[in-house]
Amino acid sequence: MKLIDISKPLTNSIAVWPGDTPFSYEVEVTKKQSGSVNIGKVTMSTHTGTHIDSPFHFDDNGKRVKDLNLSIYIGPARVIDVSEFTSIGAEELQGYDLGNESRLLLKTDSSTNPEVFPSNIPYLQSNIGPFLKEKGIELIGVDVPSVDPLDSKSLDAHHALSSNGVHILENIVLTDVEPGCYELIALPLPIQEADGSPVRAILRNLEGV
Ligand SMILES: N[C@@H](CC(=O)c1ccccc1NC=O)C(=O)O
Ligand SMILES: [Zn+2]
Ligand SMILES: [Zn+2]
């Protein structure tokens, strides 16, 4: 069965949120030094590359990674192309057949260079929270670094999604993904108290081709 990797490669030159911890992987102890093994060291923000947000990211009383229900991050997902919009809300999604999948991935195709942080991104309107809840959607994925405008401090879309039970997956790569139905797997690492986690996000073609 064909797997499509929709994760951003984590390289030392991957773009991070302005001012955030740069990503670094290095061999901290070499095989020569240890006499037996190379030992790597990773330094990163929980919001670098393809990742999920835990509600604690934007709410001091919100769920941590350890509180998340893992079954949200595995299962049928629909990919739709919303590249014509600068912001996406209930009205923009009205015309789409969202099917019965409880996971929705939005393909905006707005950013391409993984080493450059975008200056402007399409964002979600907060009316999308109640709209998605009504459609039975429990996870939204976007191919941009945030569901809110980059300069937002109130993070309205994050709050509106979370308060309607919609989990957030950010910075997926949908460039080579055709709109349609897939199985999504995007599990957070068990960083117990975390506000988010990098994920290896993949789509499985349901048709088995
Ligand atoms: N909300 C963004 C991350 C974010 O806002 C952020 C990430 C790292 C450093 C600063 C950030 N926001 C600062 O205002 C996200 O969900 O990934
Ligand atoms: Zn995030
Ligand atoms: Zn976010």
Per-residue pLDDT of 75-122, as tens digits, reads 999 999 999 999 999 999 999 999 899 999 999 988 779 999 999 999
Q: Which of these, 53, 54, 137, lies nearest to 103 by C-alpha position?
A: 137
pLDDT at 208 over 70: no
Catalytic residue among 50, 52, 57, 196: 57
Instruction: Tell me the per-residue pLDDT of 30-83, one tens digit each, with 9 for 90 and over.
Output: 999 999 999 999 999 999 999 999 999 999 999 999 999 999 999 999 999 999
The pTM of the full predicted model, rounded to 2 decimals, is 0.97
Ligand 3 midpoint to CA 170 (Å) = 6
Evaluate whether 55 touches 181 at the Cβ level (below 8 Å). Answer: no
Residue to mutate (ligand 1; options 124, 146, 148; most atoms within 8 A of CB)? 146
b/e per residue 180-198 (b: at least 16 CB within 10 A) = ebbbbbbebeeeeebbbbb
Q: What is the mean pLDDT of the chain?
A: 96
List all residues 6 or more positions away from 91 whose beta carbon is below 8 Å from its beta carbon: none
The phi, psi pair for 119, rounded to 5°, reads -95, -15
Helix (H, G, I), strand (E, B) or coil at 23: coil
Domains (ranges, CATH) in the chain?
A: 3-8+46-205 (3.50.30.50)
The pair of three-digit structure tokens given for residue 203, joined into one six-digit string? 């789509």
pLDDT at 137 over 90: yes
Ligand 1 midpoint to CA 22 (Å) = 13
- Note the helical H segments in 80-127: 90-93
Widest CA span in the chain: 62
Ligand 1 midpoint to CA 30 (Å) = 34
**CA distance to 37, 62, 114, 141, 179, per residue, from 158 (Å):** 42, 12, 23, 12, 24
